Amino acid sequence: MQSSHKRMVRTLLIDVSNSFTKLAIARNRKIGRVHTIPTASINASKIRAFRVDRAVISSVVPKVNQILAKALNCSPIWVDYRVAGGVSLRYPNPSSIGADRLANAAAAVSLGKLPSIVVDFGTAVTFDVIDSEGRYIGGIIAPGLPTAASALHERTALLPMTQIGKITSSIGKNTREAIRIGLLLGAAGLVREAVTRITKEQFKGIRPTVIATGGDSELVTRLTARHGDKPLIDLVDPLFTLRGLLVIAEKNP
């Protein structure tokens, strides 16, 4: 008698950013353990360790793409503006939209809380804006916190390299603390100003859902509220880009 059990497809989700690459295997619409690897150390052996049926890749580092293509045991879906993700692109040059930003937009539309703004805190801080009809209409790109910290260290004679971390005051008592406060308050101010302007200009004052992802999203979210008010960011989801890749996988069987 033939078994009616359907084999579970293993889909490898790969998000290649400038600093780190995230990999996770999804089964039955659930994302498993996330592996985070410095992008500079990606090699074929690390990729071959994942034996999967299919793969979906968002990459903003072209030199890594050839390594991935040769190492995978399947032909991957490379995310770009031509790949179905459930998002309409109202954008003059869609080929210039980063694959990670397209994945974030796909996740936002799938979530269904529109209009929305996705803020991704990585090497760069990106804002991706999706209107109430599920159309990607553009965004903002600014230096990420690690990038800003590195720039301060490299372009000054005396300022040390500073790791981003939690702050408890708005006044630093030493140089590293002062830099950390400056970077985080600057990021929180950027989020407040960007969301306020986008809401006024694009949505006529209708409050969009603000979603944050990326390494520093939780730290910045805590600082976006004023005087004990509700944080400006509605949802923090470190897996949001990977969720978008899974949405794209489902729409491209």
One-character DSSP codes across 148-194 = HHHHHHHHSSSPPP------S-SS-SSHHHHHHHHHHHHHHHHHHHH
How many CB atoms are closer than 10 A to CB 1?
A: 3
State the catalytic residue, choosing from 15, 53, 100, 216: 100
> 209-214 and 116-121 as β-strands: parallel, antiparallel, unpaired?
parallel
CA dist 197 and 207 (Å) reads 11
Angle at 200 between CA 196 and CA 205, to 5 degrees: 100
Q: Has 120 been annotated as catalytic?
A: no
The packing angle between helices 145-155 and 175-202, to 10°, is 130
CB burial string 110-139: b at 16+ within 10 A, e below: bbeeebbbbbbbbbbbbbbbbbeebbbbeb
Residues 107 and 243 sit within 8 Å (Cβ to Cβ): yes
CA dist 128 and 118 (Å) reads 5
Residues designated as active site: 100
